[in-house]
Structure 1
Amino acid sequence: MENEGSAAAGKWRFAGNERLTLAGAVTVRGVLDTIKGNLNGNDARPVIPLGHGDPSDFPSFRTSSFAEDAVRAAVSSAKFNGYSSTIGIPAARSAVAEHLSKDLPYKLSPDDVFLTIGCTQALEAIVTVLARPGANLLLPSPGFPYYEARAGFSGLEVRHFDLIPEQDWEVDLASVEALADENTVAMVIINPGNPCGNVFKYEHLKKVVETARKLGILVISDEVYDHLTFGSNPFVPMGIFASITPIITVGSISKRWIVPGWRLGWIVTNDPDGILTKQGIVDSIKGFLNISSDPATFMQGAVPQILENTPPDFFQKIVSTLKETADICYERSKEIPCITCPSKPEGSMFVMMKLNLSLLEGINDDLDFCCKLAKEESVIVLPGFAVGRRNWLRVTFAIEPSSLDDGFLRIKAFCQRHAKKP
């Protein structure tokens, strides 16, 4: 009875991990859950989801039947029911190496490829690998907030360099050099861009890696939206510049094949000079994967067929649809005075739009805008603070064109309703 009394007095010896609580609150999913909590259940209209990065529910974004067949064949073969190697089965690693080598001036080895549970685990792995005491990581602003969340949990300091909206969201290289010090270990580049919808030019990427070499740091290149481009700039993999500075590429089949729920990604070391091996990074990646879960073995079994057999017209259809919806997004934004889109999206599935709150009444900030928009119009948009830019919006255009049109009509009506009276 005495022990019961001590526990009741609040002397339990366990408690939740505060780092996890704080990290979970700043993720895209966490913020969107807050926005969704404002939806009006009495609105008979369908909810328009312009805040997510998962278009798989929409008919225009159905994955390839060849990919589905590959998964069925892998399951039916009964060859992939057991455990995988912690770094991935050899055939799958070879297939990813061959697939990515098509865009590079050199050939990747299967030993350069480590398979992960989607790109999220790839990010988790590399951030954890770099999180030695006192180290800091340079992240783009705006950017993908999972890096901050994971770094915060791992005790890795983050510093933000600017992307410049007036220059098609190019990296402010002066800010990179100003932020870096002797404890800086790496910088992150997302190309094509999430959340900006930009596609970096070859010349600019070369300047980025030259800056990284000058600083003695590696580049983490997040290429989960690789080849989802529809503007004047083609996709350029950062691995092209690996002879200048070591590059770690992370990616997956999630976005290009429209299967984020299949959870198959990779870490790739682009390192012709063996610097990452000498510095212990490769062994640390293996160590991380040895103490974490593996991607489903049957998915690894399906990957060679998915990568080799998906016909080009599937990708052409997806890119064509994204171009159509990106055009809708950009043109409709011009009809709303309080929203400005600094540059037309050329890649990925997102665009950043700036809010002019001085033209609105009763709206405090971007979060307030998104919560009230959800309540009044059943439209979900991600507030910019979640990706590092307050009083901006990140809008997803990877949905049905008709739904996107409807969504912008509702946003326009909402802004007219809240417009400041002259």
Structure 2
Amino acid sequence: MEPFQSQEEVEEEEMENGLEKWGFRENEDLNTASGFTIRQVINMVMENLDAGDERPTIPLGHGDPSAFPCFRTSPVAEDAIVEALRSANFNGYPPSAGIPPARRAIAEYLSRDLPYKLSPEDVYVTIGCTQAIEVALTVLARPGANVLLPRPGFPFYEARAAFSHLEVRHFDLLPEKGWEVDLDAVEALADENTVAMVIINPGNPCGSVFTYQHLKEVAETAKKLGILVIADEVYGHLTFGSNPFVPMGVFGSIVPVLTLGSISKRWMVPGWRLGWLVISDPNGILKKTKIVECIKVSRNISPEPATFIQGAVPHILEKTKEDFFMKIIKILRQASDICYERIKEIPCITCPHKPEGSMFVMVKLNLSLLEGINDDMDFCFKLAKEESVIILPGVAVGLKNWLRITFAIEPSSLEDAIGRIKSFCKRHGKRQ
């Protein structure tokens, strides 16, 4: 059905196709809300791969390092899953908020980094961080409401907000300031219908890690505007630069915070789909405004993570040794160094800020130095076809003619991939 068709044309088309007798139709809201997802764009890029290229395809587009042996999860986590499954104690339906031992363990795990102690009642176990995002945006959606999202950012927020009829307004992250939030823009965008702002720290897609001082300024700005902060910390503790990870919940006494996280990234198990939404609000503002009650209702009408994975969570969080985390950080630091230094060798690509956390770096394309490349999407399509390297065009995360590169792969494969990107850019470079 074309959007510009008249009602008469629509009815005529339906009669021709024999559709007039059926009462069901597509959900146009769903098609509109799905937007530009990372998975969708990566699939589009992969369609351009040359089946005749005998070299291995190198995936620098998706943040899933679990495919690489150097990023295998901790044996402690694997054993915890097996023990939980074999115990036969976790075969039934879990409570909608999560089984009590899992909620308690997550509260204790997160409280280690906070100036106050979280209660198990503050924790809602979710199917990965994506369901935590769904819950957070769903409970805040009301007629006329808007939410402030970072640009560049994680496009699932836009898709979910559209599905909930929640207006989106974008504030910029500033590459020249280490991808900090443009707080002046936040203040300019907000009005009486603004309900929340989202921050992602450590940053996806930028690889940034916010300082304590900047996060405090975010909290004070949000308090001034009367909005809460949704803190996406799925990459929490994956830092390898000068700034340590500081959870937004540290500032919960300044502004109410909904903290979103999971075991997916720190433990290298995105497919286990175990996350959480946590209320970091020692002043009880979210309870008084009935947001907490809305979260409970939302969890009552949505599915829960597999019970045996919840059953394994206490052992995973409490027993994983520090040497496992240090090994992962060491590999990520090495890979980020390779990525940053090798990109300097490519004239048409600029990295404005060395990544300090997560698994990504944003780099800018200089199309004036290239021939036959129209934009970032065209660059990624042709790179896939000619070099069997998959990277994400920046338009998918809100920045046209930028690229998001994932460096959470085997360092040797990363070296190979950047070498191929360099060859591609040289081949398409403008002749002097």
Does 2:126 match 1:116? yes
Distance 1:349 1:214 in 2: 33
Q: Which amino acid aligns with 1:29?
A: R
CA apart distance, 1:25: 4.1
What's 2:5 paired with? none
Gaps of at least 5 residues in structure 1 are none
Query: Which residue, out of 386, 398, 414, partners 2:396?
Result: 386
Distance 1:161 1:254 in 2: 27
What's 1:253 paired with? 263
What's 1:140 paired with? 150
What's 2:243 paired with? 233
Does 2:239 match 1:201? no
Does 2:340 match 1:330? yes
Does 2:312 match 1:302? yes
Contact 1:47–1:378 (Cα < 8 Å) also in 2: yes
Equivalences, count = 419
Q: Which amino acid aligns with 1:59?
A: P
Q: Which amino acid aligns with 2:80?
A: A
CA apart distance, 1:10: 4.5
Distance 2:105 2:95 in 1: 16
CA apart distance, 1:219: 0.3
Contact 1:25–1:31 (Cα < 8 Å) also in 2: no
Contact 1:24–1:30 (Cα < 8 Å) also in 2: no
Greater alpha carbon shift after TM alignment, 108-117 vs 278-287: 278-287
Does 2:286 match 1:276? yes
3-state secondary structure, aligned to 1:105: coil
Taking a change above 3 Å as real, the CA distance of residues 68 and 8 of structure 1, as seen in their structure-2 partners, is same
Contact 1:131–1:156 (Cα < 8 Å) also in 2: yes
3-state secondary structure, aligned to 2:303: coil
CA apart distance, 1:24: 3.0
What's 1:128 paired with? 138
Listed as ranges, the matches of 1:18-29 within 5 Å are: 18-29=28-39
Q: Which amino acid aligns with 2:267?
A: W
Deviations 1:30-64 (A, max 9, x none): 11111011111110000000000100010110000
CA apart distance, 1:7: 6.9
State the identity %: 70
What's 2:233 paired with? 223
CA apart distance, 1:6: 8.6
What's 1:48 paired with? 58
3-state secondary structure, aligned to 1:81: coil
CA apart distance, 1:12: 2.8
Distance 1:160 1:10 in 2: 41
Does 2:290 match 1:243? no
What's 1:401 paired with? 411
3-state secondary structure, aligned to 2:64: coil
Query: Which residue, out of 421, 424, 431, partners 1:414?
Result: 424
Deviations 1:330-363 (A, max 9, x none): 0010000000000100000000000000000100
CA apart distance, 1:27: 0.8
CA apart distance, 1:15: 1.5
What's 1:262 paired with? 272
3-state secondary structure, aligned to 2:65: coil
Q: Which amino acid aligns with 2:279?
A: T
Distance 2:287 2:16 in 1: 53
What's 1:184 paired with? 194
3-state secondary structure, aligned to 1:16: coil
Distance 1:98 1:405 in 2: 40
Q: Aligned Cα RMSD in Å?
A: 1.1
Q: Normalization by structure 1: what TM-score?
A: 0.98
Distance 2:340 2:16 in 1: 62
Q: Which amino acid aligns with 1:394?
A: R
CA apart distance, 1:13: 2.2
What's 1:350 paired with? 360
Taking a change above 3 Å as real, the CA distance of residues 407 and 7 of structure 1, as seen in their structure-2 partners, is closer
Q: Which amino acid aligns with 1:129?
A: V
CA apart distance, 1:280: 1.0
Taking a change above 3 Å as real, the CA distance of residues 7 and 199 of structure 1, as seen in their structure-2 partners, is same
CA apart distance, 1:291: 0.7
What's 1:291 paired with? 301
3-state secondary structure, aligned to 1:8: coil
CA apart distance, 1:299: 0.5
Q: Which amino acid aligns with 1:234?
A: P
Q: Which amino acid aligns with 2:214?
A: H
Distance 1:391 1:349 in 2: 20
CA apart distance, 1:321: 0.2
Taking a change above 3 Å as real, the CA distance of residues 11 and 305 of structure 1, as seen in their structure-2 partners, is same
Listed as ranges, the matches of 1:167-178 within 5 Å are: 167-178=177-188
CA apart distance, 1:22: 3.0
